[in-house]
Amino acid sequence: MNKALALNISGIAAIACLVANGLFSGCIPAEPEIANGDDSGADETEHDSGAAETGSIAAETGSPEAAETDGGAGTSLCAADAGSGAVGILGCACSQTGATACAGNGSRQSIVCAPGGSGPTWQGNGSCTESEVCDPREDSGSTATCVITLGCVSPGETFCNTSNSTFVQCDSNLIPIPTFCSFACANDAGCTGVCEPTSTRCNGNQPQSCDSSGQWANQGAPCPAGCQGSGVCSSPEASVPVEASAADAAAD
Protein backbone atom coordinates (compact mmCIF):
# COMPACT_ATOMS: atom_id res chain seq x y z
CA MET A 1 0.00 0.00 0.00
CA ASN A 2 2.70 2.40 0.91
CA LYS A 3 4.72 1.44 -2.21
CA ALA A 4 1.82 2.13 -4.54
CA LEU A 5 1.22 5.43 -2.89
CA ALA A 6 4.82 6.39 -3.35
CA LEU A 7 4.68 5.58 -7.08
CA ASN A 8 1.56 7.65 -7.53
CA ILE A 9 3.11 10.62 -5.77
CA SER A 10 6.23 10.33 -7.97
CA GLY A 11 4.10 10.23 -11.14
CA ILE A 12 2.08 13.24 -10.04
CA ALA A 13 5.30 15.17 -9.37
CA ALA A 14 6.61 14.38 -12.86
CA ILE A 15 3.39 15.50 -14.52
CA ALA A 16 3.45 18.70 -12.48
CA CYS A 17 6.97 19.39 -13.68
CA LEU A 18 5.97 18.93 -17.33
CA VAL A 19 2.98 21.22 -16.91
CA ALA A 20 5.07 23.89 -15.22
CA ASN A 21 7.88 23.91 -17.78
CA GLY A 22 6.09 22.90 -20.91
CA LEU A 23 9.18 20.97 -21.92
CA PHE A 24 10.86 17.76 -21.05
CA SER A 25 14.19 19.54 -20.49
CA GLY A 26 14.89 19.80 -16.82
CA CYS A 27 12.55 16.92 -16.09
CA ILE A 28 14.35 14.26 -18.14
CA PRO A 29 18.18 14.50 -17.87
CA ALA A 30 19.89 15.11 -21.24
CA GLU A 31 23.00 13.25 -22.31
CA PRO A 32 26.10 15.28 -21.52
CA GLU A 33 27.37 17.12 -24.62
CA ILE A 34 30.91 16.23 -23.68
CA ALA A 35 30.09 12.64 -24.43
CA ASN A 36 29.60 13.47 -28.13
CA GLY A 37 32.86 15.43 -28.18
CA ASP A 38 34.69 12.56 -26.57
CA ASP A 39 33.29 10.11 -29.11
CA SER A 40 34.30 12.38 -32.02
CA GLY A 41 37.79 12.83 -30.65
CA ALA A 42 38.03 9.12 -30.15
CA ASP A 43 36.99 8.61 -33.77
CA GLU A 44 39.66 11.08 -34.99
CA THR A 45 42.26 9.51 -32.74
CA GLU A 46 41.33 6.09 -34.02
CA HIS A 47 41.51 7.35 -37.62
CA ASP A 48 44.90 9.01 -37.07
CA SER A 49 46.18 5.92 -35.35
CA GLY A 50 45.07 3.81 -38.29
CA ALA A 51 46.74 6.18 -40.74
CA ALA A 52 49.93 6.15 -38.74
CA GLU A 53 49.83 2.39 -38.58
CA THR A 54 49.26 2.18 -42.34
CA GLY A 55 52.14 4.59 -42.96
CA SER A 56 54.36 2.52 -40.70
CA ILE A 57 53.53 -0.65 -42.60
CA ALA A 58 54.11 1.11 -45.93
CA ALA A 59 57.50 2.33 -44.73
CA GLU A 60 58.49 -1.17 -43.71
CA THR A 61 57.14 -3.11 -46.68
CA GLY A 62 57.03 -0.45 -49.40
CA SER A 63 53.63 0.56 -50.67
CA PRO A 64 52.72 0.19 -54.34
CA GLU A 65 52.55 3.98 -54.66
CA ALA A 66 56.07 4.38 -53.21
CA ALA A 67 57.40 1.64 -55.45
CA GLU A 68 55.81 3.30 -58.46
CA THR A 69 57.35 6.66 -57.53
CA ASP A 70 60.81 5.20 -57.00
CA GLY A 71 60.56 3.12 -60.13
CA GLY A 72 59.49 6.17 -62.13
CA ALA A 73 62.49 8.19 -60.99
CA GLY A 74 64.88 5.37 -61.81
CA THR A 75 63.26 4.78 -65.17
CA SER A 76 63.52 8.48 -66.00
CA LEU A 77 67.23 8.54 -65.13
CA CYS A 78 68.05 5.42 -67.11
CA ALA A 79 66.01 6.61 -70.09
CA ALA A 80 68.24 9.67 -70.47
CA ASP A 81 70.58 9.89 -73.46
CA ALA A 82 73.97 8.60 -72.30
CA GLY A 83 75.74 9.92 -75.39
CA SER A 84 77.40 8.30 -78.40
CA GLY A 85 79.75 5.35 -78.65
CA ALA A 86 80.43 2.84 -75.90
CA VAL A 87 78.66 4.71 -73.11
CA GLY A 88 76.21 3.87 -70.32
CA ILE A 89 74.62 5.29 -67.18
CA LEU A 90 76.03 4.20 -63.84
CA GLY A 91 73.53 1.99 -61.98
CA CYS A 92 71.29 1.38 -64.99
CA ALA A 93 70.67 -1.87 -66.83
CA CYS A 94 73.09 -3.26 -69.41
CA SER A 95 72.92 -6.33 -71.63
CA GLN A 96 76.38 -7.85 -72.06
CA THR A 97 78.05 -8.88 -68.82
CA GLY A 98 81.75 -8.00 -68.86
CA ALA A 99 81.39 -5.22 -71.44
CA THR A 100 83.19 -1.97 -70.64
CA ALA A 101 82.16 1.57 -71.47
CA CYS A 102 82.40 5.18 -70.33
CA ALA A 103 79.87 6.97 -68.11
CA GLY A 104 79.01 9.43 -70.89
CA ASN A 105 80.97 11.51 -73.39
CA GLY A 106 83.81 13.53 -71.92
CA SER A 107 83.70 11.54 -68.67
CA ARG A 108 86.67 10.31 -66.65
CA GLN A 109 84.57 7.42 -65.25
CA SER A 110 84.98 3.93 -66.71
CA ILE A 111 82.13 1.45 -66.13
CA VAL A 112 81.63 -2.30 -66.56
CA CYS A 113 78.48 -4.40 -67.06
CA ALA A 114 78.29 -6.64 -63.98
CA PRO A 115 75.66 -8.97 -62.47
CA GLY A 116 73.15 -7.36 -60.10
CA GLY A 117 70.18 -8.38 -57.99
CA SER A 118 67.62 -7.71 -60.73
CA GLY A 119 69.94 -8.26 -63.69
CA PRO A 120 73.24 -6.86 -64.97
CA THR A 121 73.86 -3.15 -64.43
CA TRP A 122 76.61 -0.65 -65.20
CA GLN A 123 78.99 -0.43 -62.23
CA GLY A 124 82.11 1.61 -61.55
CA ASN A 125 85.34 0.37 -63.12
CA GLY A 126 87.85 3.03 -62.08
CA SER A 127 88.49 6.65 -63.00
CA CYS A 128 90.99 8.46 -65.20
CA THR A 129 93.32 11.17 -63.90
CA GLU A 130 92.53 14.86 -64.31
CA SER A 131 94.68 15.01 -67.46
CA GLU A 132 92.89 12.02 -69.03
CA VAL A 133 89.45 11.12 -70.31
CA CYS A 134 87.60 7.82 -70.89
CA ASP A 135 87.59 6.93 -74.60
CA PRO A 136 84.14 5.68 -75.78
CA ARG A 137 85.09 5.37 -79.45
CA GLU A 138 84.30 1.83 -80.50
CA ASP A 139 86.77 1.81 -83.40
CA SER A 140 89.68 3.43 -81.61
CA GLY A 141 91.33 0.29 -80.30
CA SER A 142 91.33 1.86 -76.85
CA THR A 143 87.60 1.70 -75.98
CA ALA A 144 86.83 2.52 -72.33
CA THR A 145 90.49 3.19 -71.56
CA CYS A 146 92.02 6.45 -70.41
CA VAL A 147 93.67 8.72 -72.97
CA ILE A 148 95.55 11.98 -72.41
CA THR A 149 93.50 15.06 -73.32
CA LEU A 150 96.52 17.20 -74.27
CA GLY A 151 94.65 20.13 -72.74
CA CYS A 152 91.14 19.63 -74.19
CA VAL A 153 88.59 21.28 -71.92
CA SER A 154 85.46 21.68 -74.07
CA PRO A 155 84.17 19.96 -77.24
CA GLY A 156 85.13 21.72 -80.47
CA GLU A 157 88.04 23.55 -78.88
CA THR A 158 91.20 24.01 -81.00
CA PHE A 159 94.74 24.98 -80.06
CA CYS A 160 98.35 24.71 -81.13
CA ASN A 161 100.85 22.46 -79.43
CA THR A 162 103.86 24.59 -80.28
CA SER A 163 106.35 22.10 -78.86
CA ASN A 164 105.94 19.87 -81.91
CA SER A 165 104.05 22.07 -84.39
CA THR A 166 100.79 20.16 -83.92
CA PHE A 167 97.27 21.49 -84.42
CA VAL A 168 94.88 19.91 -81.90
CA GLN A 169 91.09 19.63 -82.27
CA CYS A 170 88.96 18.42 -79.34
CA ASP A 171 86.09 16.09 -80.26
CA SER A 172 82.80 15.59 -78.42
CA ASN A 173 84.51 13.21 -75.99
CA LEU A 174 87.27 15.75 -75.17
CA ILE A 175 89.67 13.44 -76.97
CA PRO A 176 92.41 15.33 -78.86
CA ILE A 177 92.67 14.83 -82.62
CA PRO A 178 96.20 16.04 -83.47
CA THR A 179 97.38 17.10 -86.92
CA PHE A 180 101.10 17.51 -87.49
CA CYS A 181 101.90 20.71 -89.35
CA SER A 182 104.55 20.69 -92.08
CA PHE A 183 105.72 24.15 -91.05
CA ALA A 184 103.88 25.80 -88.15
CA CYS A 185 100.65 26.05 -86.17
CA ALA A 186 99.56 29.63 -85.53
CA ASN A 187 96.98 31.43 -83.37
CA ASP A 188 95.33 28.17 -82.26
CA ALA A 189 93.62 28.17 -85.67
CA GLY A 190 95.46 25.54 -87.67
CA CYS A 191 98.52 24.74 -89.74
CA THR A 192 100.07 27.56 -91.67
CA GLY A 193 103.37 28.90 -93.04
CA VAL A 194 105.79 28.31 -95.87
CA CYS A 195 108.92 27.58 -93.89
CA GLU A 196 110.06 25.82 -90.73
CA PRO A 197 110.38 28.23 -87.80
CA THR A 198 113.97 29.31 -86.93
CA SER A 199 115.33 28.24 -90.34
CA THR A 200 117.31 30.87 -92.32
CA ARG A 201 118.07 31.68 -95.95
CA CYS A 202 119.27 34.37 -98.36
CA ASN A 203 116.73 36.29 -100.41
CA GLY A 204 119.18 37.96 -102.79
CA ASN A 205 121.52 39.94 -100.55
CA GLN A 206 118.95 39.96 -97.73
CA PRO A 207 119.36 37.45 -94.88
CA GLN A 208 115.99 36.06 -93.72
CA SER A 209 114.74 33.94 -90.86
CA CYS A 210 111.51 31.94 -90.57
CA ASP A 211 109.35 33.25 -87.70
CA SER A 212 107.06 31.29 -85.37
CA SER A 213 104.14 31.51 -87.80
CA GLY A 214 106.17 29.92 -90.59
CA GLN A 215 106.75 33.11 -92.58
CA TRP A 216 110.04 34.50 -93.89
CA ALA A 217 111.14 37.76 -92.28
CA ASN A 218 114.14 39.97 -93.04
CA GLN A 219 116.97 39.83 -90.53
CA GLY A 220 119.02 43.02 -90.44
CA ALA A 221 120.18 45.01 -93.48
CA PRO A 222 121.08 43.54 -96.85
CA CYS A 223 124.64 42.24 -97.09
CA PRO A 224 126.97 44.78 -98.82
CA ALA A 225 129.15 42.04 -100.26
CA GLY A 226 126.31 39.60 -100.86
CA CYS A 227 124.50 36.91 -98.90
CA GLN A 228 125.53 33.31 -99.05
CA GLY A 229 124.49 29.94 -97.73
CA SER A 230 121.82 30.01 -95.09
CA GLY A 231 121.59 33.76 -94.74
CA VAL A 232 125.19 34.70 -93.93
CA CYS A 233 126.71 37.91 -95.27
CA SER A 234 129.91 37.47 -97.30
CA SER A 235 133.08 39.26 -96.16
CA PRO A 236 134.40 42.04 -98.47
CA GLU A 237 137.59 40.05 -99.21
CA ALA A 238 135.64 37.03 -100.29
CA SER A 239 133.64 39.14 -102.70
CA VAL A 240 136.70 40.34 -104.80
CA PRO A 241 136.69 38.61 -108.26
CA VAL A 242 139.60 36.25 -108.99
CA GLU A 243 140.47 38.08 -112.21
CA ALA A 244 140.89 41.37 -110.38
CA SER A 245 143.19 39.77 -107.83
CA ALA A 246 145.44 38.33 -110.61
CA ALA A 247 145.66 41.70 -112.40
CA ASP A 248 146.71 43.43 -109.19
CA ALA A 249 149.44 40.82 -108.62
CA ALA A 250 150.84 41.32 -112.17
CA ALA A 251 150.95 45.09 -111.72
CA ASP A 252 153.03 44.68 -108.61
- Expressed in percent and rounded to 5, the helix, strand and coil fractions of the chain are 30, 25, 45
Per residue of the chain (252 residues), give pLDDT as tens: 444 444 444 555 554 444 444 444 444 444 444 444 444 444 444 444 443 343 333 333 333 333 333 333 456 789 888 899 999 999 999 999 999 999 999 999 999 999 988 899 999 999 999 999 999 998 888 789 999 999 999 999 999 987 778 999 999 999 999 999 999 998 898 999 999 999 999 999 999 999 988 999 999 999 999 999 999 998 876 544 444 444 454 554
Distance CA 154, CA 168 (A): 12
132 in Cβ contact with 140 (< 8 Å): no
List the alpha helices (DSSP H) in the chain.
2-21, 33-61, 64-78, 242-251
- The DSSP output letter for 52 is H
**Strand-pair partners of 208:** 201, 218
Q: What is the pLDDT of residue 35?
A: 42
Q: Which residues contact 21 (CB under 8 A, 6 or more apart)?
A: 27
Q: What is the pLDDT of residue 186?
A: 87
- Of 225, 183, 227, 233, the closest CA to residue 203 belongs to 227
pTM of the predicted model over 0.85: no
Q: What is the pLDDT of residue 250?
A: 53
Domain boundaries, the chain: 85-148, 158-192, 195-235
Distance CA 54, CA 59 (A): 9
